[in-house]
Amino acid sequence: MSSSISDVAETLIARKKVVDVRNAVEDSTSNVSSPNEDDLESEKKEDHLKSAKAKMDAVKEDNERLKLTLSQILKDYHSLKMHFRSIAGQEEPTLQENTPTPPTEFFQPASLLESPMEEESKLVSLTLGRFSSVDEKREEKRNNNEKNHEEHGKLDGLELGLDCKFHLGSIEVMKNPSPENSFDESKEDEQNNNTCTANKGLKTARSGDDENLLQNPLKKPRVSIRATCDTQTMNDGCQWRKYGQKIAKGNPCPRAYYRCTVSSSCPVRKQVQRCKEDMSVLITTYEGTHNHPLSVSAKAMASATSAATAMLKSGSSTSQPGLGVSATSSTSTNLHGFNFNSRNNLTTSQPFYFPRASISTSQSHPTVVLDLTTPNISPPHNKLSSTLFSATSSSSTCLNFSSTPSSSSLDSNTSTLKVPWNTVFHSRPEALFNSINHIGASYNSQPYIHNNVQITPEVQNMHVTDKITAATKAIARDPTFQSALAAAITSFIGNSGGNVQENHGSGGNSEQNFHLYFPQESMRDGIGCATSYVNKLPQPLFSQQKNLIPFPPLTFSRSKSTPISLGEEGEK
DNA sequence: CGAATTTGACCGGCGC
DNA sequence: GCGCCGGTCAAATTCG
């Protein structure tokens, strides 16, 4: 990368030299002219001089601007480099020490940090992103056997330490004990104990609990993802086992019920159903919190959904068009292993931001819908921007990043986060970050307040290079984006090291994959987000960047329930 | 033959 | 109290 920057610098310097030489020649030419010529000729010379001076001035300005641009590019490059290094620095010790520390704090399954299960979890976590699920399962089985022996103590331990549950807890529990999570846990307990009464007791205990749950304290929060998907389910990186299917009222398409099988005690469920209005749209609803380490791709999904959940749980989730909601977690929220707690700087100081959001319930469940469908394949950026904040007619404010009206078959009261859906996504959780990318891209068209960064309309009047600089700086300063970038890169690296089949439509070319996640549209405008900036860099440059990140070779375990390839028939 | 899926039965919550 | 409906269970079936 530095060599490429140097190339740019050399080019600019060479250009300046050429201009200087040209100016010198022009000056000398004007000096050579004879003082004995008539007025007409002197007038001509004067004009010539004036125009030459004007040209000189313009060229000088140009040079100055180029210098500025160069210095800013260098500055931005260094800042980005520092970000990458810090990210890589976080990753490296993990790899070297073989500790359960996740690639980035973004994905930290903090549930593993303090619980009595910690040591066991560490053993499991060693496999993170590198071991096959078979190994994980073996580990899980082993752990479960041990669990059975010390069930009670373990559960207590879970209560004490499992952030994934009890930070939720702490989220809400800090204020009031979280019924949601304790329910999750209790449900597990219940399963372990094979008792039916526990549930009732818990449910009773729950009632009247947590006022902080925005909608229904009795139900676990859900994150529903609407995505155009040809396969039966989205590949979210987890292993699922189908345990039921129903024809839900109002939708002829059957709703399939899955539970996570990565860990036998994992309480996470998901429902998969085709949209009634648009059969190509798959609605995947997640509920619960993974209690085990997640694969890279699963983390990607978990992160995105967790952000939505954080938004859902955030008291600030009432939306205002154009202002948006930051899903801060003074309430530490955890979904699918993504922990929003005080230890996770991301959420306490680096909130996810959703341009507009509100929370409402769907069938008594507080639900956030991430709408990843788009009407067009890779909609032009400008068009996209124009529709990014389009309002919906839903009773609840929707995060509608699409120009199409919400066609969710879910409760219309469900809050919707509509994000441009890169149709190449197709069962790719990593592409969720495409949506984050688009959110970043929205800096372009709208005043965008994000974590104290505001891109105002003035920015739009700036010179393109200044826009790049300003946008890059603003976004680079944005910790959320940093996390998203890290996540995207993590996913990207994971893909390149994982199953080749995961490279949908890109022929397995990881570079193309990367571009899928960071659409060129934003580049075209010369604005957009830092990922565009990264993309804009010469290819060898990015290759070097990739090499900067010491990610391990990743293997993605698969089951029938997690079809990865676009062409695959999906689960049976 | 074990694992995954299918599918009808069952349970609990909720509205009337 | 009853019926509807969502969700889950578990036996039967299918698959690899």
Nucleotide with C1' nearest the A257 CA? C7
Of residues A258 and A39, more confidence is placed in A258
* Rounded-to-integer distance, Cα A302 and Cα A266, Å: 14
* Rounded-to-integer distance, Cα A357 and Cα A400, Å: 9
Asked if A218 CB < 7 A from strand B, the reply is: yes
> CA A559, C1' C15: Å apart?
13
Q: Provide the strand spans (E) within A248-324.
A: 254-260, 269-274, 281-287
* Rounded-to-integer distance, Cα A159 and Cα A165, Å: 8
Of residues A183 and A62, more confidence is placed in A62
Asked if A141 CB < 7 A from strand B, the reply is: no
> CA A175, C1' B12: Å apart?
29
pLDDT of A220 higher than 60 = yes
The crossing angle, in degrees rounded to 10, of helices A2-32 and A39-97 is 170
Give residue-wise pLDDT tens across range A295-344. 777 777 777 667 766 766 654 343 333 333 333 333 333 433 333 333 33
Asked if A561 CB < 7 A from strand B, the reply is: yes
Half-sphere exposure (Cβ direction) of A366: Cα atoms closer than 13 Å:
26
Protein-proximal nucleotides of chain C (any atom < 7 Å from a CB) = 4-10, 15-16
**What is the model's pLDDT at position A537?**
35
**Average per-residue pLDDT in chain A?**
49
Nucleotide with C1' nearest the A242 CA? B5
Segment A105-118 shows an average pLDDT of 34
Please measure the distance between the N-terminal and C-terminal CA atoms of chain A and give it in whole angstroms: 46
The crossing angle, in degrees rounded to 10, of helices A479-497 and A296-313 is 150
pLDDT of A271 higher than 70 = yes
Query: b vs e for A471-496, b when ≥16 Cβ sit within 10 Å of the residue's Cβ?
Result: bbbbbbbbbbbbbbbbbbbbbbbbbb
> CA A561, C1' C14: Å apart?
15
**What is the model's pLDDT at position A15?**
54
* Rounded-to-integer distance, Cα A505 and Cα A482, Å: 27
Q: Where is mean pLDDT largest: A43-52, A238-247, A439-448?
A: A238-247
The crossing angle, in degrees rounded to 10, of helices A197-206 and A179-193 is 170
* Rounded-to-integer distance, Cα A506 and Cα A424, Å: 9
* Rounded-to-integer distance, Cα A540 and Cα A275, Å: 43
pLDDT of A530 higher than 70 = no
* Rounded-to-integer distance, Cα A149 and Cα A162, Å: 19
> CA A254, C1' B1: Å apart?
31
What is the DSSP pairing of strand A254-260 with strand A415-418? unpaired
**What is the model's pLDDT at position A314?**
59
> CA A198, C1' C12: Å apart?
30
Segment A152-172 shows an average pLDDT of 33
Percent of chain A whose pLDDT exceeds 90 = 2
Of residues A117 and A372, more confidence is placed in A372
**What is the model's pLDDT at position A243?**
92
Give residue-wise pLDDT tens across range A374-419. 554 333 333 333 332 233 333 333 333 333 333 333 334 444 544 4
Asked if A271 CB < 7 A from strand B, the reply is: no
> CA A177, C1' B16: Å apart?
33
* Rounded-to-integer distance, Cα A446 and Cα A187, Å: 45
pLDDT of A550 higher than 60 = no
Specify the residue for token string 């010179």. A463
Q: How confident is the model at residue A37 (pLDDT cuts 50, 70, 90)?
A: low
Nucleotide with C1' nearest the A267 CA? C8
Percent of chain A whose pLDDT exceeds 70 = 24
Q: How many CB atoms lie within 10 A of CB A15?
A: 14
- What is A123-155 written as a DSSP string? HHHTTTTTS-HHHHHHHHHHHHHHHHHTHHHHH
